[in-house]
Structure 1
Amino acid sequence: MENQIFHLQYAIDTFYFLVCGALVMWMAAGFSMLEAGLVRSKSTTEILTKNVALFAIACTAYLVVGYDIMYDGGILLKDIALDGAENADAMVAKVLADSAEAGFDGDSVYSNASDFFFQVVFVATAMSIVSGAVAERMKLFAFLIFAVVMTAFIYPMEGSWTWGGKSVFGMFSLGDDFGFSDFAGSGIVHMAGAAAALAGVILLGARKGKYTKDGKINPIPGANLPLATLGTFILWMGWFGFNGGSVLKLGDIGNANSVAMVFLNTNAAAAGGVIAALFVAKILFGKADLTMVLNGALAGLVAITAEPSTPSPMMATIIGAVGGVIVVFSILFFDKIRIDDPVGAISVHGVVGLWGLLAVPLTNDGANFVGQLVGAGVIFAWVFVTSFIVWILIKAIMGIRISEEEEYEGADIGECGMEAYPEFTSAR
């Protein structure tokens, strides 16, 4: 009877991990649609190509190298199945031993393969953040080369210091020494992606015509706001897997209640972000700004990601609303200092990601503001500096920016040789 219960728990927790991973994978579609909607039509094909290719690269690079760096157990180097378990008792013993080795003390039990799948889609999410910030002027293959380094090395290293439980270069532990806490990745995933994006954007420069010599800022509207809105709703939906799966377990009453609360708070924070961004935009611009509203939803989601399990629903709404306010002012600030980010990714994922980390101690007694700041500083410094170095090397070797002519005609023609929205077709 005990083995049957264990088998059921193992099956439920493994299946839950896989379903949540699939939801997070679906966020790749959300990023693609959001970015395609917020750039000009002449760069749409290149945006879509980048998002499909980066997902494939992230999955492969993390499979071969990244997972081993992050958890000392590369999927190609370590048995991930239950080989050698000749009977049910041996299987139970092996799963419990593997779970304890992973630090779960037998409480969370699921297939190692499901754990890898759930982890790898997070890596792809971090890289997707970079895509939107460098849109419309970066060379496709320069971006993809950076994606290899980011997903195989840069992200796994900072992940090993946080979720992997390793010390930072053997000096100190963010979790044990400082109490750093990031439930589902406001810093580890989102701020890391934004730091890599910021390094690239600084070297890349702004799109032609975005800023004038006299200090004027020229808005460059996106080509398809319905598509951007669809992308936002896809991301909103995928975030339930992002945060909900990070509970790591479903197969008992306590964790089932925790999962339900995470889902509730994730949704509440997104709603709070939308409402706050809508009102701030109305106050500042005199009108509702859809792009700010969409970024407000994403800001609310990023803000709650660091700790969606301990706040009350009302507190989660407030945390999301603060994120919605922050993101509007952050986008305006980066424009003012001439950092061109076509989709607001650095503000949504970086600035609001920091807010998410700092909000953790408000509801989680196990965290403190000093520890959160130290963790945020380590993540940002590592990712920004290493990314900056990699971007410089790529720039020196092959260049990172398309030509002025290609930018004028659109990245679609120059990089992909086809248009997403051809105005005319000819047939013979």
Structure 2
Amino acid sequence: MKRKIVVTTLLLGWATVSVAADTPDPTFSFPINIDHVWVLLSAALVFFMQAGFKAFEVGMVRHEHGNAVAIKNIIDWIIGSLIFLFLGFGVMFGKSSYGIIGTDLFFGMGIQDNPDGSPLGSIFFLFQIAFATTALTIVSGAMSERTGFIPYMTASALVALLIYPVFGHWAWGNLFYADNPAWLADLGFIDFAGSTVVHSIGAWVALVGIWKIGPRLGRFDENGNPVAFKASSYAYSVMGLLILWLGWWGFNGGSQLALDGAVGEIILNTNIAGAAAGLVAFFHCYWFQKREDLYPKFLGGIIGGLVAITACCSMVSHLGALAVGLTAGLIHNYAYDLILYKCKLDDPVGAIPVHGFCGVWGTLCVALFGQLSPETSRLTQFGIQLLGCGVAFGFTTIVSYVMFSVLEKTVGLRVSPEEEKTGIIIGGEVAAEEEEEIGMSEAELLELMK
């Protein structure tokens, strides 16, 4: 009995001490910076967009190519993370040499607790890694079903090392060091969250890539008319689109780099533009384009609206966001037909109309619908925005042409006809059962797919 009383007394005493210890001290404040938390959460949302791109692209391509597309998506994140850490981040955000290129912050040194740099430190770096890999993923979808694994990995590394960060320095080089020269930004070029810096850059690399590698076997008939290829699952693509749409809240909202009153308006404008673009893309195709390619135009139109608003989401009213989205839906549909039916370029996921054309349109919408400073005329701002878009296109296509030409002459760009038919196998070999299923020579396969 005495033992029970002693044990009970000890337990009650321990409980009392524990409760007292857990009682919050009103004089104590936990050092949480809400801006850091928001940007870190936004970085996670943008990273999650990789899953959205994977699902969207796998659903758009033929079933047998789904595994290869998925693997290339994760390779983009791996390569982008490492290359951007070692060199790309420094090239883009380091202390500038004449506003052209960054010269420090390599290998992650000087990012955290830099008295002259962004107070976000490594969180800013994580956010920017997610942006860089988004540009790489755009190339993956456009060149899918016929691009070799090694040349694609090499191209991704060069984009993360040179193309994306160099142009990024010209437009965003003053985001880490506030007083850093960045020649396009210094002229007044505005691209809030990357309609051009991220999306158009990725699209123009992809444009050169699909032009150099050519269409998938059998994609056009002898008269140059497109032959329909069955997508593996539009339902899967819709799931990817919804993930992307959610991720865009972090993509655009996080670009404020602080959790303030503007964030809600930015996210709301993003949602308005995506919804408006999807509505217009659907009914424009349904009523005026004979319902041709209705599903890819509908889904692509939504993403095109999200891409377009990315440059100006912090500068437009809700009516302005509506105007950006409505026009982006039309631009997407016309650009889709231009690329496929006029230019005869094979873009399995519609990346060029979405990220290229809608990216340019959104960048120009800064001048058309944005709330500008009183001393800046819309015409002047439009000229600056047009210059930035032109520089992005010229720089990216020239460097990409050299890059893909060298890859074509060295390791090659295209996989074998067998792999195009049965699905790309990472490692370059067709499985034995797939060889038996083919049952024909390469020449016979080529003849069949003409």
Place the TM-score, normalised by the shorter chain, in its bin. Answer: 0.7 to 0.9
Q: 1:417 to 1:248 in 2, by over 3 A?
A: farther
Shift of residue 233 of structure 1? 0.6
Q: Contact 1:133/1:341 (CA < 8 Å) preserved in 2?
A: yes
Gap runs ≥5 in structure 1 = 83-93, 103-108, 251-255, 420-428
Q: Contact 2:210/2:345 (CA < 8 Å) preserved in 1?
A: yes
| Letter of the structure 2 residue corresponding to residue 135 of structure 1 | S
1:7-22 alignment runs, 5 A limit? 7-8=31-32, 11-22=33-44
| Letter of the structure 2 residue corresponding to residue 341 of structure 1 | D
- 2:437 — aligned with what? none
For 1:80 and 1:405, locate their aligned partners in 2 and report how far apart those are by CA, in whole Å.
Answer: 47
- 2:387 — aligned with what? 374
Q: Contact 1:61/1:152 (CA < 8 Å) preserved in 2?
A: yes
- 1:33 — aligned with what? 55
Shift of residue 46 of structure 1? 0.4
Q: 1:77 to 1:414 in 2, by over 3 A?
A: closer
TM-score by length of 1: 0.85
Shift of residue 416 of structure 1? 7.5
- 2:247 — aligned with what? 238
- 1:123 — aligned with what? 132
SS in 2 for 1:315: helix
Q: 1:311 to 1:74 in 2, by over 3 A?
A: same
Q: Say which of 86, 93, 96 aligns to 1:71.
A: 93
1:415-426 alignment runs, 5 A limit? 415=428
| Letter of the structure 2 residue corresponding to residue 360 of structure 1 | V
Q: 1:306 to 1:413 in 2, by over 3 A?
A: closer
1:380-395 alignment runs, 5 A limit? 380-395=393-408
- 1:192 — aligned with what? 201
Cα offsets for 1:36-66 (capped at 9, x unmatched): 0000011111000100111110000000010
Shift of residue 287 of structure 1? 4.2
- 1:86 — aligned with what? none
For 1:235 and 1:29, locate their aligned partners in 2 and report how far apart those are by CA, in whole Å.
Answer: 8
Q: How many residues align?
A: 385
Question: Do structure 1's residue 326 and structure 2's residue 331 form an aligned pair?
Answer: yes
Cα offsets for 1:400-427 (capped at 9, x unmatched): 00112221222247747679xxxxxxxx
TM-score by length of 2: 0.81
SS in 1 for 2:172: coil
1:10-409 alignment runs, 5 A limit? 11-72=33-94, 73-74=104-105, 76=107, 78-82=109-113, 97-98=115-116, 101-102=117-118, 109-110=119-120, 112-165=121-174, 173-177=183-187, 179-250=188-259, 256-287=260-291, 289-336=294-341, 337-361=343-367, 362-366=369-373, 368-409=381-422
Cα RMSD, aligned residues only: 2.4
For 2:231 and 2:108, locate their aligned partners in 1 and report how far apart those are by CA, in whole Å.
Answer: 45
> Which protein, 1 or 2, shows the higher relative CO under an 8 Å CA cutoff with sep ≥ 6?
1
Q: 1:77 to 1:285 in 2, by over 3 A?
A: closer
Instruction: Please identify the structure whose Cα radius of gyration is greater.
Output: 2
Q: Contact 2:282/2:298 (CA < 8 Å) preserved in 1?
A: yes
Q: Contact 2:296/2:350 (CA < 8 Å) preserved in 1?
A: no
Instruction: Choose 262-271 or 218-227, whichever is displaced more.
Output: 218-227
List, as ranges, runs of 4+ consecutive aligned residues in structure 1 with deviation greater than 3 Å: 4-8, 79-82, 285-288, 412-419
Instruction: Choose 207-216 or 286-295, whichever is displaced more.
Output: 286-295
Gap runs ≥5 in structure 2 = 1-27, 95-103, 176-180, 433-450
Instruction: Choose 132-141 or 283-292, whichever is displaced more.
Output: 283-292
Once the two structures are aligned, what percentage of the paired residues are identical?
35
Cα offsets for 1:280-312 (capped at 9, x unmatched): 111134449222111011001001000101211
For 2:112 and 2:309, locate their aligned partners in 1 and report how far apart those are by CA, in whole Å.
Answer: 34
Shift of residue 34 of structure 1? 0.6
Shift of residue 136 of structure 1? 0.5
Q: Contact 1:44/1:412 (CA < 8 Å) preserved in 2?
A: no
For 1:35 and 1:375, locate their aligned partners in 2 and report how far apart those are by CA, in whole Å.
Answer: 29
Q: 1:418 to 1:349 in 2, by over 3 A?
A: farther
SS in 2 for 1:411: coil
Q: 1:309 to 1:218 in 2, by over 3 A?
A: same
Cα offsets for 1:225-280 (capped at 9, x unmatched): 11111011111010001000100111xxxxx2200000100000000011000111
For 1:173 and 1:243, locate their aligned partners in 2 and report how far apart those are by CA, in whole Å.
Answer: 23
| Letter of the structure 1 residue corresponding to residue 262 of structure 2 | S
For 1:397 and 1:412, locate their aligned partners in 2 and report how far apart those are by CA, in whole Å.
Answer: 20
Q: Contact 2:216/2:346 (CA < 8 Å) preserved in 1?
A: yes
